[in-house]
Amino acid sequence: MTYGTLVVSQPHFKQNKKLITDWQYALLRTRPKIESVFDYLKEHLNLVSSFPRSVAGYLLHYVRILLGYQIMAIS
């Protein structure tokens, strides 16, 4: 942990292996799922957009995209 940031990734093959805690291992196991969801949101549902021109507009855009994703996942 450096400067309050925790990087969750597999060590490089040349790096020394270190023990990790249970919660770090749980984060490491869920990382591919989270990345695949964000990839889908960004590539297929246009989560990243330059259209909104205010903070409220960005928030509304993100809520709309996430709500659409949830409705699509349910059906």
One digit per residue, the tens of pLDDT, for the chain of length 75 reads 457 777 777 777 776 777 778 888 888 888 888 888 888 888 877 777 666 678 888 888 888 888 988 888 888
Does 50 lie in the same domain as 27? no
Q: What is the pTM of this model?
A: 0.52
Tell me whether residue 37 is in a domain. no
**What are the percentages of helix, strand and coil residues in the chain, rounded to 5?**
55, 5, 40
Structural domain including 61 reads 45-74
- Number of domains comprising the chain: 2
Tell me whether residue 49 is in a domain. yes
Tell me whether residue 39 is in a domain. no
Distance, in Å, from the CA atom of 37 to the CA atom of 61, rounded to the nearest integer, reads 17
